[in-house]
Amino acid sequence: MSAPSRVDACGDRLRALFTHAHPDDESSKGAATMARYVAEGIRVVVCTLTGGERGDILNPKLDTPENNARLPELRKAEMERARAILGVEQVWLGYEDSGYFEGEPWPPTPPGSLAAAPVEEAAARLAPLLRELRPHVVVTYDERGGYPHPDHIMTHRVTMAALDLAADPAALPAAGPAWIVPKVYYQMGFHRRRFAKLDRLMHERGLVSPYADRLRDWQEDEMADRLTTFVPCADYFEVRDKALLAHATQVDPDGPWFAVPLDIQKAGWPTEDYELVRSTVPTALPESDLFAGLACPAAASADDWRI
């Protein structure tokens, strides 16, 4: 028997949209939050902006010429498996992966890739989904993309532009009535405070921490000062890991992603963390729920955005 749907103050089923750059990002960033909300009867949709076509195979056991030749096909199949594990809906925005390179000079941006698209064009693709879904909550990356991959940075820019476009009643008249998203968040899970706590618990257990080098080179934690919202979701860490492992070409099951035992993760940092950046509803910070404070969204105005 499925859980009864969580609803807003108007009795409308709660809905959330998470935007991500590539297949596998949804499973490494906020996946336990999504699994928890699905279990609570909330409608959760993932919009994946690219197909991950220019990614690398990061699992050495699968890094073969045959798999590299069919990587786009493999990544779509992996996304479908992860989607089913998390219980979310998933749509593609339709852009190609822009690729990621170390060092200089940076090669030309491939035509058809997300990084080559004008922000306004890509936002006009995403805004109709916002109007159709009418999410109460949208989650995306911060202005740095979480890390400086061009597709992550573009995902931030496109999402924020689409939010404004969807809220403008004069824009995109064929896309349906305007929709103002009541709450907008940045996904902020990779902050130093979390890694430092898990690192300490690993050492106390006599285990080798995968975070030692990262912490040594990472003295400032600007992200931690921006955190507003801590969603308890430790009961769904196993689901998160299963979804990430479904992206078999993108993660080494024997690598650092899985080096910290789940009991240490649950005890050391049982939340996934966010920054509230827009809200049309009053809410007390810190929050423990992305949907805290929601009333009837139809009564909101874009002029009411605050935070």
The H or E element that residue 151 is part of is: helix 150-167
Check residue 117 and give its pLDDT.
96
Number of domains in the chain: 1
Over residues 208-261, the pLDDT tens digits come to 999 999 999 888 888 888 999 999 999 999 999 999 999 999 999 999 999 999
Check residue 107 and give its pLDDT.
72
Residue 268 lies in a domain: yes
Residue 304 lies in a domain: no
Check residue 296 and give its pLDDT.
55
Residue 196 lies in a domain: no
- Give the 3-state secondary structure of residue 250: coil
N- to C-terminal Cα distance for the chain?
A: 38
pLDDT at 263 exceeding the cut of 50: yes
Check residue 260 and give its pLDDT.
98
Residue 201 lies in a domain: no
Residue 116 lies in a domain: yes
Q: How many helices (H) and strands (E) does the chain have?
A: 10, 7
pTM over 0.85: yes
pLDDT at 181 exceeding the cut of 60: yes
How would you list the strands of the sheet with 229-232, edge to edge?
A: 89-95, 43-50, 15-20, 137-140, 183-187, 271-279, 229-232
Rounded mean pLDDT of 163-185? 97
Residue 112 lies in a domain: yes
Over residues 18-38, the pLDDT tens digits come to 999 999 999 999 999 999 999
pLDDT at 297 exceeding the cut of 90: no
Check residue 295 and give its pLDDT.
59
- Give the 3-state secondary structure of residue 11: coil
Check residue 102 and give its pLDDT.
67
Distances (CA, A) of 26 to 8, 70, 154, 165, 209: 25, 21, 16, 24, 25
pLDDT at 180 exceeding the cut of 50: yes
The H or E element that residue 44 is part of is: strand 43-50
CATH code of residue 55: 3.40.50.10320
Over residues 153-163, the pLDDT tens digits come to 999 999 999 99
Six token digits for residue 11: 């009795």
pLDDT at 193 exceeding the cut of 90: yes
* % residues pLDDT > 70 (the chain): 93
pLDDT at 120 exceeding the cut of 70: yes
Check residue 135 and give its pLDDT.
98
Q: Which domain holds residue 38?
A: 15-191+225-296
SS3 content of the chain, % helix, strand, coil (to 5): 40, 15, 45
CB 163 within 8 A of CB 184: yes
Check residue 219 and give its pLDDT.
81
pLDDT at 1 exceeding the cut of 80: no
Longest dimension (CA), the chain: 61
Measured CA to CA, the distance from residue 227 to residue 238 in angstroms comes to 24
Check residue 134 and give its pLDDT.
98
Over residues 38-48, the pLDDT tens digits come to 999 999 999 99
pLDDT at 69 exceeding the cut of 90: yes
**pLDDT-based confidence at residue 298 (cuts at 50, 70, 90):** very low
